[in-house]
Structure 1
Amino acid sequence: MAKVIAQQTFDDVVRENMEEFGMDADEAIDDAVQQFESQGVNLSNIVQDSRLFSGQGDAAEHPVVSAIKNLKISLDSEESTTAEITDCIVMIRAECDVDLSRRCLAGNNQAYPALIQALEKFLTDDKMLQKALLTLLSLTNGQPDLLDDHGCSLLMEMLDSFKDNEDILYLTVGLIRNTCTKHEENRQMFVKKKLISKLSDVLNRHKGSEKVVIETCGALRVLTLDDDIRVPFGQAHENAKSIVTEGNALETILNLCKDYSDNPGVLKELFSTLAKLVVRSEFCKAVMDMGGLDFILRALQSCVKDKGVVRQALGLIKALAGNDEVKIEAVKISAFEIILVAMIKHQANSGVAELSCATIATLVLRNPAHCITVINLAGHQSIIQAMKIHPKEGGVQKQACNALRNLVARTREYCEPILELGAEALINEALKNHTSCEDDAKAALRDLGCNVELKIRWKGENGSLVHD
């Protein structure tokens, strides 16, 4: 992990360059950047603005720091006007919107507690409340660590207090989403305060609002992620299960899918959310039993021109196919035909190619009858074509190798028609160029009957698993 430094440390080096070596501000900053980067320091959190240094090397106070100080003074003073507070909040937001370094500078100078104070001060003033929420959204973008228990409780209270206010609710949910991204502790803190049931209520209460539905789906998805590298084991699976069981999310989202069947922008968000929730076999079957599988395939067919819907629908079908009953039903209702049409339509898109291959691989796994269907539809040709079109995309190569392997693992009679298309050379090329698909490529070569060097990593000889 790259090292980081404080803004003050960087500023001190810039001043030293200017005072001792006679550099101008731009030269001093460039030299400081080179020094720190050569030491492996990540400077993404450091403001590098020559306007902040005078000719003598003195660092001027950054506008965002001044705005925070003025905001604190204004909030604590009974004589301050709303206009003065607004100016400070708007200035902080403008600076935070520039880049991460400004946001880090603001966060390190107490912007978060000041803005929380502003939220509490203007709970009965919608316009000011929106301004404060928007600024907090900017500030916490990439900085979820700023959240504390008091702020978490305040946001949960606002979900109740403003449950009928679409605009405030939208911003509040967005702020919750920001502070849960890549932060397992925050996610658990919100979940303990019953966030899941409240988000479910938001979806049901505001199902007619596109922006609220999209933002709420995003917040639910964040709870199912395991993206905090500081935590060895998160609660992603448990959260997904709770969203389904406590929030009745599968039925709610499927109903929303039908409501927004003509709106690709919302539909892809709903599909993406469903894919994160079907973490158990019974959940996959429940979606099918509620008519969800048929709807998803029909939506994929009708929205085949929209890459966003296609990608999310493919990912959802792959997730649902984790259940063998769903897998069989999907093929019965023409899943392969629909998937291959989408695959050919967007053959130049690596994301669609990768997901198509992955979905086909899942649907044919341990099912010879499904392999026959794919071969009869010339699906193997589309897989080979994807490998040819996207030779530099490791994900496409990996999933294509996996699909080819699954097609012949139990139906060796299909090795020859696949090899006739040049599969062996393509797989060997993938093996040479992409370390990520080594295992899949070797498995495909092995099951296709090709020459392949398989490493025996340990034979149990010349050593023991048990140390004396």
Structure 2
Amino acid sequence: MSRRRITQETFDDVVKENVEEFDMDPDEALREAVEQFESQGVDLSFIVKAVPTSSHDDTQEGQTHEVLQALESLRLGQDNPNMTADLKRFTEQCSVGFAQRYLAGQKGAFAIVLSCCRKSLEEQGDLLVALAALAMLTDGQPDLLNTEGVGLLFSILYNYREDPAVTRVGFRTVRHCCLKHEQNRQDFVKAGVLALMTRAITKHIACAEVVKEASAALRVMTFDDDIRVPFGHAHDHAKLIVMENNGLKVIIEAAKSHPDKVPVLSDLCATLSHLAVRNEFCQDICDLGGLKFMMTLLAESFESKDIVRQVLSAIGAIAGNDDVKDAVVNAGGVPLIVVAMNTHMGNSNVCEQGCACLAVLCLRKLNNCQVIMDNGGPLAAIQAMKSHRGQVNVQKQACMLLRNLVGRTDAFSQSILEMGAEALILEALRSYNEDCGDVCRAALRDLGCKVELRELWTGKKGNIVQHSDSD
């Protein structure tokens, strides 16, 4: 159930009342207001929790929040030489937190900043400052974007496609506008932004910042994260990136150009995992050298749990192809995955992705099951279940791995049971029956354990009432 929300004005009025009526100092008045609303179950994530300050005068009427003061200065000075200074001040205030950005957005900031972008089109330096303000304002607020904004952003990206600095900030803005907003994604794709993104990676392949930003923007175009729409075009967008814009080759070539830039490689790896939506795409990634750079990245970046998680996710995605499963195992992927899990056993995300990756590798592949057994895969999964009893996804993926290991043979069942698997699976079944009960029961069944399977349908007929045509 959603929490109650209030306006910024309501919150500020309570702070003001605490000062005037109850003789509190400003800091005490602020703390009291926060505690009062939180005790009532009010969501304050959209509220600037600060005492308004004076702007042009010292009267109470002249007091407002600093982000609004910066916005007003920007509104009044759009045609002045100081516009860039006002933009920088506004960007700085928006960077304080989401509440500041939300308040500015509610007061018409998008139209003002977009106007500044339009007025700066002829001057690269000013345009960079204006775009940076737009990128910051739209972070977490994709609904601010309108048709005019889509057109202007695309025009800027096209006209400045030779400029790496403008390209980088422009793609960051597009990414913010498309995250959790399906319609914005579709509008940009229709405008032709996918071609601009892939070409930018090739054009500016030596610039790690552009490659990283363009890759991240491409990835967002394949998301299906807008809960307001019944279904999105994530799969279609991924196909467009691969089939019409040569996206797989572009990304893998970029990875080869930055062998020592681990953050860039991690980002490219994450994007590849979102493009592996078809069997042939998975094979193409492998054939183009994508698997090789993933293996290298995993082997050389064990200390970074974030990179390990991204690589494991990508390997799991491309291993949906049966031939790629064998390629991963033949390349020594299994011991790398197990070592990564053991290295970051305290991190639930790594454990979840590690179990999921191994579960995919052994699906329908008896030889791969043997390799996973020989390299301690089930023991790592069982340890992950012990370490993360409160994480349903870890429990689910670990049970999936154990089930897949014995799904086609009972040769490994006794060894896995001796590791203590049955008790842990039963515990997961009791704790998360609704979320992963079926997987737990399947694991117990295939391990040869006693399990009460749910009877979804008895096969008995019910009463059938026939109606005549006249009915």
Pairwise same-fold verdict (TM > 0.5): yes
Paired residues of 2:50 and 2:65 also in contact (CA < 8 A): no
455-464 or 123-132, larger mean C-alpha shift:
455-464
Cα-to-partner distance string for 1:341-362 (whole Å, 9 max, x where unaligned)? 3333433433322212111100
> Whole-Å Cα distance in 2 between the matches of residues 49 and 301 of structure 1?
47
Which runs of structure 2 are paired with 1:146-157 in the superposition (5 Å)?
146-157=144-155
Where does 1:60-459 land on structure 2 (aligned, <5 Å)? 60-76=63-79, 80=80, 82-83=81-82, 85-434=83-432, 436-459=435-458
Closer/same/farther in 2, CA of residues 451 and 168 from structure 1, 3 Å limit? same
In the aligned structure 1, how far is the partner of 2:42 from the partner of 2:416?
Answer: 50
Q: What is the number of equivalent residue pairs in this alignment? A: 463
Of 266-275 and 39-48, the range deviating more from structure 2: 39-48
Give per-residue Cα distances to partners, 1:24-59, cap 9 Å, x unaligned: 655655555455445543221112323459999868
Shift of the 376–161 alpha-carbon distance from structure 1 to 2, 3 Å rule, reads same
Q: Which amino acid aligns with 2:64?
A: E
Matched position secondary structure for 1:75: coil
Change (3 A) 1:416 1:464: farther
Percentage identity across paired residues of the two chains: 43
Matched residue SS, 2:186: helix
How far apart, in 2, do the equivalents of 1:132 and 1:49 lie? Answer: 26
Q: Give the conservation status (yes or no) of the 8 Å contact 2:181–2:225.
A: yes
Letter in 2 for 1:424: E
User: Displacement of 1:118 after TM fit?
Assistant: 1.1
Cα distance in 1 for residues equivalent to 2:163 and 2:20: 56
Contact 1:14 1:57 in 2 (8 A): no
Q: Supply the distance in 2 between the matched residues of 1:57 and 1:117 (Cα, whole angstroms).
A: 31
Q: Helix, strand or coil: the match of 1:412?
A: coil
Compute the TM-score of the two structures, normalised by the length of structure 1. Answer: 0.90
Corresponding letter in the other structure for 1:7: Q
How far apart are 1:239 and its partner, in Å?
0.9
Indicate the larger mover: 444-453 or 223-232. 444-453
1:15 deviates by 4.8
Give the superposition deviation at 1:372.
2.3
CA distance in 2, matches of 1:352, 1:326: 21
Letter in 1 for 2:333: A
Could you report, residue by residue, the CA deviation over 1:204-236 in whole angstroms, capped at 9, with x for unpaired residues? 100000111111111011111111111121111
* Partners of 1:15 and 1:58 within 8 A in 2: no
Mean Cα deviation higher: 366-375 or 145-154: 366-375
Letter in 2 for 1:2: R
Distance 2:50 2:362 in 1: 57
Q: By how many angstroms is 1:14 displaced?
A: 4.5
Q: How much has 1:431 moved relative to structure 2? A: 2.8
CA contact (8 A) 2:338 2:376 kept: no
Q: CA deviation at 1:187?
A: 0.8
8 Å CA contact retained: 2:399, 2:425: yes
How far does the alpha carbon of each residue in 1:264-322 deviate from its partner, in whole angstroms, 9 at most, with x for none? 22111111110000101111111223233344334433444443433222111111111
TM-score when scaled to structure 2? 0.89
Deviation at 1:151, TM superposition (A): 1.3
Q: For the Cα contact (< 8 Å) 1:398–1:440, is it kept in 2?
A: yes
Secondary structure at 2:77 match in 1 = helix
The alignment's C-alpha RMSD in Å is 2.9
String of CA shifts for 1:170-217, please: whole Å, max 9, x gaps: 111111111111111111111110010111111110000011111111
Please state how far the C-alpha of 1:403 moved relative to its aligned partner.
Answer: 0.4
SS at match of 2:64: coil
